[in-house]
Amino acid sequence: MNNQKPPYSELETKMKEAEELIHALRTQQVDAIVGERHIMLVRLKQAEENLKSSRNQLRALASYLLSARENERAVIARELHDEFGQGLTSLQLGLSWISRKLTPGQKPLQEKIRSLSATTTSLMRSVKSIASELRPSVLDELGLVKTLKSEAREFEGHTGIQCRFKTNTAKAKFDRSAAVAIFRIVQAALTNVARHAHASRALITLMKKKNELILTVMDNGKGISRKLIYGHDSLGITGMRERALALRGTFTLGGSRSKGTILTVQIPLSRVITGTAS
Amino acid sequence: MTKAGKREKRKYGKPGGKTYVFRLFVAGNESNSAQARVNLARICEEHIKGRYKIDAVDVLKDATAAHKNNVLVTPTLILIKPLPKVAVLGNLNDTRQVLAALRLTGDER
């Protein structure tokens, strides 16, 4: 009688054992690995929990830093507007006063005053622009929707890239910090479109859908690589992701050469909208 | 015998059937090891009450036994008797799979 097992039988058993081992490891049902000389305790669940907790701490810190930065920006913007703005206005008025006092014979002085006055006007414009960049007053005055509309218009004006904005949230009243976060995400996304996308068209949408607010920024440019999306040095993208996550939202970015780039942020409505504007 | 009686017999096996000998390799009181101890005791009590013997080996105290039995990870349960030997890895939470692996399902008992 032939009792010999088929040659593949042992291999089959080994394969089965290996599969079982992999399954046990994958499902975290292993708590020690027995080596020749050492026994290594595997506290996967504990390690995972520690990792999750550290990640949450980092996220909380990032959120705090973002909000601290916004506050700091607001203070600097106010100081710039109040101190420099007023100072420059007084200077401008002073120059006009001197100009009026000059006689027609003091031509070189008149020229100098005119030149100083032009510099002052230019400085006033710069201060206004920097203050507005730091803390867009229009966001406080007009609200998120109108600010985004104006941002799209300005973007088109500066870059020549056709930019449209669509929304169904015109009557919604946004939470102040959420509005700042959404505005900053749009600003960063548009900066990326201008710098990297080689696009001729961009579209921003802000839509309320069921219990979520969905923001998308898309373009018809050259798309974006996975390396760039997940790269540690893509600070703009990391910033946008952190802002979305701080609002308990999700952030996705994708694209291809034929379809351009599409950024989507989904945020629970309860975190963003506080009511309806009258 | 009634249908229900037959089903009952299939479910619980004969009262004086084979004795089962297990060796359970654990790592102290680590969570999976502790779960495996509890699960094995429960399975034995429910399915082969009075016909089993469990020999628990703590690899942190006795690593040689683990080597001798080719145990690579804990928890590992080895069915020593009846032959053939069977090894089951993990915390034994999936009772159905454990019963199948230990040949404790249906008429096989």
Give residue-wise pLDDT tens across range A30-50. 888 888 777 778 777 777 788
Q: Is residue B14, in this structure, part of any structural domain at all? A: no
Q: What is the pLDDT of residue A160?
A: 93
CB contact under 8 A, B32 and A34: no
In A, minimum Cα distance to B101 occurs at A20
CA A46 centroid distance within chain: 32
| B5 within some domain | no
Contact A32 B71 (CB under 8 A): no
Domain assignment of residue B89, yes or no: yes
Residue numbers in A near B25 (CB within 8 A): 34
Does some domain include residue B104?
yes
Write the residue in B66, B67, B90 that is nearest to A24 by C-beta. Answer: B90
With CB atoms and an 8 Å threshold, state whether B66 touches A21: no
For residue B15, tell me if it sits in a domain.
Answer: no
Question: Domain range spanning residue B98?
Answer: 28-108
CA distance A59 to chain B (A): 29
Of A122, A123, A187, A185, which is closest to residue A150 (Cα–Cα)?
A187
Q: What is the CATH number of the domain that holds B78?
A: 3.40.30
Q: Cα–chain-centroid distance for residue A83?
A: 30
- pLDDT exceeds 90 at position A201: yes
> What's the mean pLDDT in A65-71?
85
Does B65 reside within a domain? yes
Check if the beta carbon of residue A95 is closer than 8 Å to that of residue A117: yes
The contacts found for B96-101 with CB under 8 angstroms, 24 or more apart, are: B98/B39, B98/B43, B99/B43, B99/B47
Do the Cβ atoms of B101 and B86 come closer than 8 Å?
Answer: yes
**pLDDT tens sequence across A211-247:** 999 999 999 998 888 777 777 667 788 889 988 988 9
Q: How far is B46 from chain A (nearest CA, A)?
A: 23
Q: How confident is the model at residue B9 (pLDDT cuts 50, 70, 90)?
A: very low
**Is A31 close to B33, i.e. CB distance below 8 A?**
yes
CB-CB neighbors (< 8 A) of B73 in chain A: 21, 24-25, 30, 32-34
Is the separation of the CB atoms in A248 and A267 below 8 Å? yes
A242-274 confidence digits (pLDDT tens) = 889 889 899 999 888 788 999 999 999 998 887
In a domain, B82, yes or no: yes
Measured between alpha carbons, how far is A13 from A16 in angstroms, rounded to an integer?
5
**Shortest CA gap A16–chain B (Å):** 11
B58-84 pLDDT tens trace:
988 888 888 888 888 899 999 998 888
Q: Give the chain B residue whose CA is nearest to the CA of A41.
A: B27
Q: Is residue B39 part of a domain?
A: yes
Residue B38 has pLDDT above 90, yes or no: yes
Task: Please state the domain count of chain B.
Answer: 1
Minimum-distance CB partner of B71 among A24, A28, A34: A34
